[in-house]
A and B are shown apart, each in its own frame.
Chain A
Amino acid sequence: MTGSQEPERRAAGSVSEPQGAIAAQSARASDEDLLGRVAAADPAALESLYERYKGMAFALAHRVTADAVLAEDVLQEAFLSVWRNAARFTPGKASGRTWIMAIVHHRAIDALRRKRPAGELPEGEILPPSLVVPDAWPEVAGRLDREEIERALASIPPDQREAIELAYFGGLTQTEIATHTGAALGTVKSRVRMGLQALRAALLAAATGPPLRPAGS
């Protein structure tokens, strides 16, 4: 599979019965149903989720770590974490996709921080991924494709976009972003907060309104 943006609508491939029937059933199942089956220790359900999200997950892990081998390790750890913690997934708090991708992201940031020289490691333990990342707009989730999200991000001021990308993809803390950009800590805090608020508005607009234009155009 190639990491489709509409994984839940994927059609089953042409495989023989009865495996074909099972595969088709898994292909039609929602992420939440599959996570419920994973919680009941069904490996086939995890395999379906992996097939559904491996492209998106590997791309995210690779973007964060910039290392294909490390990204493979991240995916292995992340999907084992999904396998072990699926019982903690609460439908309604977050979509299955958001939950899985949050785990992948946190694992990737962990890997990135461990890779840095010891002097750059933040103090304290590396915590397991946050399992409560609520979806603000479940009615919007799934409607936007990657290009629309790209346009939404491009529509916010460049300094806010840079701060968000350094935090999310670079794993930098607010202090590290301040050092990296030369901006005051308070400025960094404002940029990230305002940037996320602007991104939220742009995503909502993309889901409901006319196409967005990049900032400054």
Chain B
Amino acid sequence: MSAVRTLTCDQVRELAPFYVLGALEPGQVAAIRAHLPTCRDAHREMAELGGAAAYLAQLPAPLDPPDALGQRIMASVRAELRAGQRDQAAVERLVGSLGPQPRPVATAAPAASPVAAIPPSAPAAATQLPTAPEQLAALAATSRRPRIRPIWPVLGVGLLLILGLAGWGISSQSTIARQAARDQTLRSALLAVAQSGATVVHLSGKGSAAGASGFAVMPPDGPAYLVVTGLSTAPPGSAYEAWVGTAGAMRPAGQVTVGDDGVAILTGMHTSGPAIRLVAISLERSGATAGPSGSLLVSGQASP
């Protein structure tokens, strides 16, 4: 996602009439949406002006659409429902097959600084980390809404990553803190996959990155994530760059760093602009980000 502009209350008030009419540019809409939930001002102008704007929808004289349209919509809905039920059953079978998993035990008292660096929503100590079945159960709980895309490839990668992270060395409090933060990020990425309307791209490597695989997820709300395992650490002086491809153009989506655990996680992938058709990673010299200079090591196409 591109960086969202920060607005003052006065700027929000100035934009409010166009916001409620749906006539702002997307960047301005995103900035207002970022402002409102955190603002101490109730911004009553939104309710006052929005209430008036809502009535405009009733102005055009009623016009019946073709009968076939309703049938098409309901056929799509029922197809999504069937696909969602299949996905739900698959997740439940996977969770059931895993059984209970022992939780790692913290051996040291919490140290202030590394734990303080963890996002507020992340667990503070390893004893609070959810197990893989718990994470998948949480995913299952949020997967009840119907979707049409298959989620098995992503679930498979997610499961491997969760199990891999659980086995990552827990030798110090700072390691525990890092693990907790990364585990939380991965969990957020998987929950984004389960979000209705999310675009999910299954990624696979080729050439020197033939063993790499992962996924990119672009939910309708919240940050986009890219998660890849099987990439070796970038050589000195170079870096992995993520790219998103639209109709006829490739744009930088952020730098991808392989963590100590061998997993590359990019949070807040830049996904603004026209519909994304391709997500890819290439190895670039540090600082060169105008476009991919070499072959795409990891890539995946978005479903139309």
Binds B, one of A18-26, A29-37, A71-79: A71-79
**A196 contacts B61, C-beta separation under 8 Å:** no
Distance in Å: Cβ of B231 to nearest Cβ of chain A: 27
Name B59's contact: one of A85, A87, A153 (CB within 8 Å). Answer: A153
Please indicate the chain B residues that have their CB under 8 angstroms from the CB of A51 in the complex.
Answer: 70
User: Which residues 160-195 of A have a CB within 8 angstroms of B?
Assistant: 164, 167-169, 171-174, 177, 189, 192-193
Interface size in chain B (residues, C-beta < 8 A):
61
Complex CA gap A146/B148 in Å reads: 38
Complex CA gap A83/B147 in Å reads: 11
A interface majority secondary structure: helix
Complex CA gap A55/B18 in Å reads: 26
Binds B, one of A8-16, A103-111, A208-216: A103-111
**A1 contacts B25, C-beta separation under 8 Å:** no
**A98 contacts B54, C-beta separation under 8 Å:** yes
> From B26, which residue of chain A is reached at the shortest CB distance?
A124
> From B23, which residue of chain A is reached at the shortest CB distance?
A167
Complex CA gap A75/B72 in Å reads: 11
Interface size in chain A (residues, C-beta < 8 A):
76
Name B54's contact: one of A5, A135, A193 (CB within 8 Å). Answer: A135
**B57 contacts A127, C-beta separation under 8 Å:** no
Please indicate the chain B residues that have their CB under 8 angstroms from the CB of A63 in the complex.
Answer: 59-60
> From A138, which residue of chain B is reached at the shortest CB distance?
B51
**A189 contacts B57, C-beta separation under 8 Å:** no
**B54 contacts A102, C-beta separation under 8 Å:** yes
**A56 contacts B57, C-beta separation under 8 Å:** yes
Does A54 interact with chain B (Cβ within 8 Å)? yes
Complex CA gap A153/B58 in Å reads: 12
Complex CA gap A124/B74 in Å reads: 32
Does A134 interact with chain B (Cβ within 8 Å)? yes
Pairs across A and B, CB under 8 Å, 9 listed:
A41-B146, A62-B63, A85-B196, A98-B54, A104-B57, A149-B56, A167-B23, A177-B23, A203-B52
Residues on B facing A (Cβ under 8 Å): 2, 14, 16-27, 29-30, 33, 36, 46-66, 69-70, 72-74, 76-78, 80-81, 84, 144-146, 196-197, 220-221, 271-274
Residues on A facing B (Cβ under 8 Å): 1-5, 41, 43, 46-47, 50-51, 54-56, 58-60, 62-63, 71-72, 75-76, 79-81, 83-85, 87, 94, 98, 101-102, 104-106, 109, 122-128, 130, 132-137, 141, 144, 146, 149-150, 152-153, 164, 167-169, 171-174, 177, 189, 192-193, 196-197, 199-200, 203
